[in-house]
């Protein structure tokens, strides 16, 4: 049963009470530990300002520890919060003055749909989920988009490459992969959105920021690498289609495994697509990066 407070939030958002997921301490709506859900709580907490003011210090302390600024993993600047009370107004008047912007409501509704849809699509999140039997296949797909095989594979090909043209392409692929790791880590560290509560953290080698889910590193890599391949390798049409399909299915599998919400993957695709544009713009060649290529040729 949702608590009355959460139900009130749901009504204010125009969302059924069930959208705030479960009321367990680890659920996204509750923002507890367990590696998931912290973001969810904040996503649903922005209309809490209708509560009565605190009279005693204990209550005030509890409120303060609930606030997005104090909760670990929250992003007060990134996610919408309650509007500040205009100066000189009594708390009651300030509350009556609350007029959530259209953008705020739209954003919160999108996030609620995101949580709901991601939970519905997380059909391989556990061995006992409805599609639990395909989980091993999804995890294989996960490794196909992992950073380590791509980095090691590129370094290996670089060491074996005997043409300048090949070396140039591979050097830029290496640069693209490193840029991707850096940007994804930076954004994950800034946004700090928790992975969905139904995710099992049993991923192959992760970095510390990988406890966060926004954006999906697999989705950025999939979009970046497939755009890179399509632009720099001469491939027959079926292989070109396969590259796009791989990226799409890898992104979908992130949500099916329960690793990500849909918006993490959608933003990941967009970011990966844009990262390719950066790589293309800064394309490394023996003309603009002679030292790099000279260093490599001495190996
Ligand atoms: C050079 C260097 C720092 C290599 C690290 C490679 C590595 C461990 C990458 C992590 C890849 C990973 C698990 C990403 C998480 O992907 P999501 O789709 O779950 O965000």
pLDDT at 84: 57
Which of the residues in the chain have pLDDT under 50?
Answer: 1-54, 58-82
Closest CA to 259 of 193, 181, 179: 193
Q: Of the listed 30, 70, 146, 260, which one is catalytic?
A: 260
Residue 221 alpha carbon to ligand 1 centre in Å: 10
Phi, psi of 98, rounded to the nearest 5 degrees = -60, 125
Residue with structure tokens 């990941």?
268
Given a contact cutoff of 8 angstroms between Cβ atoms, the answer to whether 271 and 220 are in contact is yes
Give the helix ranges, DSSP H, for the chain: 4-13, 38-45, 57-66, 91-96, 102-121, 135-144, 147-160, 164-191, 217-232, 237-256, 262-281, 290-298
pLDDT at 41: 38
pTM, whole model, 2 decimals?
0.71
CA 112, 124, 140: angle at the middle one, nearest 5? Answer: 125
ipTM of the complex: 0.96
Residue 168 alpha carbon to ligand 1 centre in Å: 24
Nearest residue (by CA) to ligand 1, atom 15, is 217
pLDDT at 19: 36
Most informative mutation of 182, 193, 204, 207 for ligand 1 (most atoms within 8 A of CB): 207
Phi, psi of 34, rounded to the nearest 5 degrees = 70, 15
- Helix (H/G/I), strand (E/B), else coil: 36: strand
Closest CA to 279 of 221, 237, 235: 221
Nearest residue (by CA) to ligand 1, atom 13, is 206
pLDDT at 67: 38
pLDDT at 90: 64
Cβ of 259 less than 6 Å from ligand 1: yes
Given a contact cutoff of 8 angstroms between Cβ atoms, the answer to whether 47 and 101 are in contact is no
Cβ of 254 less than 6 Å from ligand 1: yes
pLDDT at 291: 87
Most informative mutation of 146, 151, 224 for ligand 1 (most atoms within 8 A of CB): 146
pLDDT at 277: 98
pLDDT at 89: 60
Residue 206 alpha carbon to ligand 1 centre in Å: 5
- How far apart (Å, rounded) are the C-alpha atoms in residues 10 and 18? 8
**pLDDT tens sequence across 167-213:** 999 999 999 999 999 999 999 999 999 999 999 999 999 999 999 99
């Amino acid at each position: 049963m949702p608590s009355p407070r959460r139900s009130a939030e749901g009504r204010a958002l125009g969302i059924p009470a069930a959208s705030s997921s479960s009321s367990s301490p680890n659920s996204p709506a509750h923002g507890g530990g367990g590696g998931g859900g912290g973001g969810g709580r904040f996503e649903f907490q922005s209309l809490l300002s209708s509560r009565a003011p605190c009279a005693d210090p204990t209550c005030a302390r509890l409120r303060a520890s609930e606030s997005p600024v104090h909760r670990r993993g929250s992003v007060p600047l990134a996610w919408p919060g309650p509007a500040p009370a205009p100066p000189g107004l009594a708390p009651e008047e300030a509350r009556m003055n609350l007029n959530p912007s259209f953008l705020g409501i739209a954003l919160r509704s999108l996030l609620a749909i995101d949580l709901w849809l991601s939970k519905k699509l997380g059909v391989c999140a556990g061995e006992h989920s409805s599609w639990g039997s395909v989980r091993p296949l999804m995890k294989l797909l996960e490794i196909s988009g992992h950073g380590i095989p791509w980095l090691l594979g590129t370094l290996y090909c670089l060491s074996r490459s005997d043409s300048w043209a090949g070396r140039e392409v591979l050097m830029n692929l290496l640069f693209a992969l490193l840029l991707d790791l850096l940007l994804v880590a930076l954004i994950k560290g800034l946004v700090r959105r928790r992975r969905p509560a139904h995710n099992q953290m049993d991923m192959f080698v992760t970095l510390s920021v990988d406890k966060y889910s926004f954006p999906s590193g697999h989705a950025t890599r999939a979009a970046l690498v497939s755009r890179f391949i399509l632009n720099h390798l001469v491939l027959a049409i079926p292989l070109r289609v396969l590259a796009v399909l791989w990226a799409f299915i890898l992104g979908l599998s992130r949500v099916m495994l329960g690793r990500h919400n849909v918006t993490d993957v959608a933003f990941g695709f967009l970011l990966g697509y844009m990262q390719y544009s950066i790589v293309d713009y800064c394309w490394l060649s023996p003309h603009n990066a002679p030292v790099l290529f000279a260093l490599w040729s001495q190996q």
